[in-house]
Each structure stands twice: as structure tokens, then as C-alpha cells.
Amino acid sequence: MSKSAEVKTRLSIQAAHEQINPIDLLDDVIYLDKKGIERCGTSDHYMPWWDTGASGGAAWPWMGAALAKTTKLVIGTGVTAPILRYHPAIVAQVLLLWLICFQKEFF
């Protein structure tokens, strides 16, 4: 690394749908976006991992809501299942819609 290179710390969160209900997760990312969190990964699990009040929110519709309610947040799934759960054309259509509507990064 050169002496003039700047090192920047990036803060990220994981919005775990299998642990927290989607409304609370949305409130959390809105708050954290205002506080400077830059990235949010979210889980794409349709079933909770626990049977003790856990949730199983739908990641893709939730990410659209999060993109609509935040200003700087870069959002995406840690993993998703095109072919097994979503047709690749649907994934492409959603990503293009987000790009047109929000003009923000996602992953």
C-alpha cells in the first residue's frame, strides 16, 4: 500500500429475516442508514431456523421496501436461489426495476 493510500472502514449489517420480523428490520435499516451504515446484507430464507417466535420474511419484497425508505444504503442478499426458488428472469426483472426506480447500488 502506498503512503498516500487512504484506508476506509465500511460498516455493514446483516438483516436476518429468520431472527427478526420484517417491520422491525425495516425500521432498523432506516435508522442505521441515517447513522451512516453503508451496506446491508439480508438473508433469503423462507423458514425461520428457530421455533421460538422467529420470522421468515420475504427478502426480495423487503429489499424493495428498504431501498425505497433509505438514501445511501447498498443492499443485497448474502445468498439467493435462482432456478431453485426464483426463475432467473424474475431476478433480472426485479434488479432492473430497482435500478430504474432507485438508481442505487445493490448486490
- Over residues 20-56, the pLDDT tens digits come to 888 999 999 999 999 999 999 998 877 666 666 667 7
Q: How confident is the model at residue 85 (pLDDT cuts 50, 70, 90)?
A: confident
Q: Which own/partner contact pairs does 48-57 have at CB distance under 8 Å and 24+ positions apart? A: 48/18, 48/19, 49/18, 49/19, 50/18, 50/19, 54/18, 54/19, 55/17, 55/18, 55/19, 55/20, 55/21, 55/22, 56/17, 56/18, 57/17, 57/21, 57/22, 57/25
Which one is predicted more confidently, 47 or 86? 86
Examine the pLDDT at 89 and tell me if it is beyond 60.
Answer: yes
- The predicted pLDDT at position 51 comes to 66
- The predicted pLDDT at position 49 comes to 64
